[in-house]
Amino acid sequence: MSDRVEAQEILSSTRAQKVFLFDEIDSTNTFLKSVANENPDFTVTIANKQTAGRGRMGRSFHSPENNGIYLSILLKPQLAPDKALSITTMAAVAVAKTVEKFTQEKAYIKWVNDVFFHGKKVCGILTEASASSKDRLDYAVLGIGINLYESEQGFPEELKDIAGAIFSKSAGIRQEFIIELINAFNEIYSLGEYVEEYASRSILTGKDIVFIKDGEELSGRVLGIDADCGLLVSVNGKTQKLNCGEATIKSFQRL
């Protein structure tokens, strides 16, 4: 079995209109944003290694060679800028479903953009959008980073307690996993039906969390996910809705 990724196989097996492959790149999102205007909808960029992978809130994403899936998809949807979060939540469901197909075990989503497996974070998602008007996005770049295999070097000290991998060693399924993931995302993206599945995988529901909103640190118990994929939290007996971009989860009750 080989983990080699072939552009032609991705093109023939998915909706991808164009595929860029890199052995090493700073960030698949950064690259795809730089060429967004001259490339078609559903252009895909895949790298074997990222030297400057990025996550939400300016965080870095650990992207070692040969162990993960680091890909970005260029989208040109008829979508208002304030709805761009839906791309991230759709992708989270697609990743969870793909993990489940290859492992026959359930994957969970930590609001808003992390996928957990066996209690550890195995995937981070970052959507970056561009809009020249308030009515419609010019484009969005969806970035997905997945820890597919465990690294021989392990995770950096600051990540080892939270980060994990889907498989303990190479299973020769990297291309197959990528194809399944792109197709799972495309199905959800095309149909727009995913919120119930997103909510059913919420790892935070019923848990106590500490979060930061408007510069204030608060704590509460998560009640669930609403129809807009907002997080509903009970704080001092009152329900608050947390939206992406206005609140950050600082910690949560572990299993």
Give per-residue pLDDT as tens, 171-194. Answer: 899 999 999 999 999 999 999 889
Enumerate domains of the chain plus CATH numbers.
Answer: 7-200 (3.30.930.10), 208-252 (2.30.30.100)
Q: What is the mean pLDDT of the chain?
A: 90
Is the pLDDT confidence value at 245 over 90?
no
201-234 burial, b for 16+ CB within 10 Å, e for fewer? bbbbbeeebebeeeeeebebebbebeeebbbbbe
Confidence bin at 219 (pLDDT 50/70/90): very high
Q: What is the pLDDT of residues 78-133, one digit of tens each?
A: 999 988 999 999 999 999 999 999 999 999 999 999 999 999 999 999 999 999 88
Q: What is the mean pLDDT of residues 2-30?
A: 94
Share of the chain above pLDDT 70, in %: 91
Is the pLDDT confidence value at 134 over 80?
yes
Distances, alpha carbon 235 to alpha carbons 196, 217, 220, in Å: 24, 12, 5
Confidence bin at 54 (pLDDT 50/70/90): low
